[in-house]
Amino acid sequence: MEGYRFQQFAYLIIPLIAGIEFFRCARSVRKKAGKESARAVTMDACGYAFIGFIPAVFLFTILSLEYRRFPLLVQVLHRFDRYGVMFFFLGSWWQVFLITALRARRTADNGGSLLFSVWMPYLVLGAFISALILWAAPFNLMWVSIFWFVASFGLLAAIRVSADKICKVFMILAIFVLVGENILFVILDAIV
């Protein structure tokens, strides 16, 4: 197996954390409402998608390509592989924004310290993906990415944004980056 594939396995940490956050938010919604709700069921479904489906498709694609299984589906598998790499490469940013939004929502519902429950995981995950993905990138992009995380934390913490607003800001950022990532994938896939 190629060496870069092992780095791709490390990308799986972010969707697994996102899935766990969906489950924790669903539990918080159930506890707050005292009953089952469509919101909690939807969050559970998203949790299963992030913990089960996404890694399964990713691992299936990598193993099928590396061990040359399904020779008639090579083109489809290569397209899945390219999208999977794009999903985890650029997807790590929108997933960190999503995790931060979910943690902020749970903090708003349950109370607690924004610093420890929202901002510290945001900075740690931001530094992790910046180092993992952009370690050898040109133009000091790793430091630009780390600066983005630190600056966005500093700005929002300095103006004392509430947990509800943090949730909205990071959910909008997550959607914006997800849509942009998919548009970029369609363009790059058409070129390649």
Mean of the per-residue pLDDT values of the chain = 88
pLDDT of amino acid 153: 96
pLDDT on residue 89: 65
Domain count, the chain: 1
Sequence-separated (6 or more) residues with CB below 8 Å from residue 96: 14, 122, 125, 126, 129
Mean pLDDT lowest among 2-11, 41-50, 156-165: 2-11
Question: Position 98: which residue type?
Answer: L
Percentage with pLDDT > 90 across the chain: 50
Maximum mean pLDDT: which of 54-63, 64-73, 84-93, 114-123 = 114-123
Average pLDDT over residues 88-94: 75
Q: In which domain, by residue range, is 65 found?
A: 3-191
Highest mean pLDDT among 9-13, 19-23, 75-79: 19-23
pTM of the model: 0.89
More confident residue, 128 or 62: 128
Picking from 56, 60, 57, 58, the residue whose alpha carbon sits closest to that of residue 69 is: 60
Give Cα separations from 20 to 16, 58, 101, 114 (angstroms).
6, 18, 13, 19
